[in-house]
């Protein structure tokens, strides 16, 4: 079983231009731009709303889903 607590959005530092749009929309205040690159501050547990992914103009931050079939 995966540890749900440790899951965070995935950041590609090579694509991030530090524009900070993801920081501005994170309703949990869980992101910050440090030295020109977005980082996860870990202040709150990400709820996977994926707003950061939606607003990123460079696809630098993503919220991938693991697709699983419910076992009865």
Partner 1 sequence: MTVELEFLNLIPHFAGLGPAELESVQKLIFEKTAGRGEMVLLEGEPSEHLYFVSSGVVKEFKTSAEGKEQILSIVRPGESFNDVAVLDGKPNAASARAMGQVTLCGIAKPDMAALLRQHPRIALNVVGVLAGRVRHFISLVEDLSFRRVTGRVARILLEHAGDGAGGGPRLTQQEMAAMAGTAREVVGRSLKALEEEGVIRLERHRLVILDQEALRDLMEASS
Q: What CA–CA distances, in Å, run from 38 to 1, 19, 63, 67?
A: 29, 9, 14, 26
Binder among 13, 28, 57, 58 for partner 1 (CB under 8 A): 57
- Could you tell me the two tokens for 22? 């993801």
CB of 39 or CB of 55, closer to partner 1: 55
As to burial, measured by CB atoms within 10 angstroms (0-12 exposed, 13-18 middle, 19+ buried), residue 16 is: buried
CB of residue 2 to partner 1, shortest distance in Å: 4
Q: Does 33 bind partner 1 (CB under 8 A)?
A: no
Q: Does 14 bind partner 1 (CB under 8 A)?
A: no
**Interaction of residue 37 with partner 1, rule CB under 8 A:** no
Rule CB under 8 A: say whether 43 interacts with partner 1: no
């Amino acid at each position: 079983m995966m540890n749900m607590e440790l899951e965070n959005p995935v950041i590609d530092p090579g694509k991030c231009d530090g524009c900070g749009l993801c920081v501005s929309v994170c309703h949990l205040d869980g992101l910050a731009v440090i030295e020109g690159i977005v980082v996860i501050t870990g202040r709150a547990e990400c709820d996977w709303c994926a707003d950061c992914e939606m607003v990123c103009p460079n696809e630098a931050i993503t919220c991938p889903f693991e697709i699983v079939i419910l076992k009865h």
